[in-house]
Chain A
C-alpha cells in the first residue's frame, strides 16, 4: 500500500461548525504533515508529527487543531473557521522522521477541498 488516503474529498461548513479532516497511511512512515494550499499557490506547511508527537507548528491559528491518534492516522479538527480558510488541505507522510534528515520524500494524499461559508 503506497497511498495516503484523505477524507472527505470535499467539505462545506459554516463558520460556527465543528468538523474534522482525516488522513491515513499504511506505509510505516514515521512523519505525517498537514499542508494548506490556496489556488495557484504552493503548499504551505501547517503541522508536522514525528513518531506521533507534534514537532512543528507553523504558527497556525488555534481554530485548527491537529491530532495523531496512532502512527497511521492524522486528523485536523476544524472549529470557528473563517471564509479565508477555504483551501485544499493536503496530508503527506515521509519515511524518515522530520527534522532528522533532509531527504524527506513526501507522499501526498489527494487532498480535502474545504469551503467555509
Chain B
C-alpha cells in the first residue's frame, strides 16, 4: 500500500514563528500536494509539485512556501505563522496527473497558531 506520512499529528505554534510541515511518500509518486481543510470550505489546494524542485501555486498560496528537494519529500513552510493559518493540513501524492490516478492522503497535521 502507498503510504503518505506527515511528521506531526498535532502542532501548536506562536504567531510569527516559522513552521515546517513535512510529508514523505514511499511509492515513487511524481506528484505531491498540500491542502488545508476548514469547516464549510472543504479542501483547498495550497501548492503542488509534479517533479523534484518544481512547484506550482494552488488556490490559496499566500503566506506559504514549499520545498521539494527529493522526490519522496514535500515540505510546506509557513514563513510567519498567523492565527488564520490554524487549520488541518493534508498532504497527498499521486502517481500521475488527472482524476483516474486519484490521490493518496496522509493522516493530516492539526496546526494551531496562538
Q: Is B a genuine binding partner of A?
A: no
